[in-house]
Amino acid sequence: GENVEQHPSTLSVQEGDSAVIKCTYSDSASNYFPWYKQELGKRPQLIIDIRSNVGEKKDQRIAVTLNKTAKHFSLHITETQPEDSAVYFCAAKSTNAGKSTFGDGTTLTVKP
């Protein structure tokens, strides 16, 4: 089955700096890669996703890059703000599989 590894497990940055979180996956059939943000005590919510037919996608301060050859994808947050502090999860899924596989999460802390 699919295996997703996420690094780092914790990340602390100064407000205004950039943050990068990386995930690797094992199943070459995976073709959908979402990123979720989970604030303390809340449910996970999608912030950005990418499909295997594109290499990069951007939405304001958030971007995701995908390297299918190397089987890794990354979340980039620029100009970080204190409200970006949360746990971020990556996931990988294939159209043929009935389930997503999630990474273990990264706790991002943005210090004012």
- Three-state secondary-structure class, residue 83: helix
Residues 103, 6: contact at Cβ < 8 Å? yes
In this structure, the chain runs to a length of 112
* AA identity, residue 94: S
Cross-strand bridge partners of residue 12: 109
User: By C-alpha distance, which of 22, 3, 11 is closest to 92?
Assistant: 3
Interface pick for another protein out of 58, 61, 99, 111 (rule CB under 8 A):
99
From residue 30 to residue 69, the character string flagging contacts with another protein as x (rule: CB under 8 A) and all else as - is: -xx-x-x------xxxx--x-x------------------
Q: How far is the CB of 75 from another protein (least distance, A)?
A: 15
Q: How far is the CB of 110 from another protein (least distance, A)?
A: 19
Binding site for another protein (CB under 8 A): 31-32, 34, 36, 43-46, 49, 51, 89, 93-105
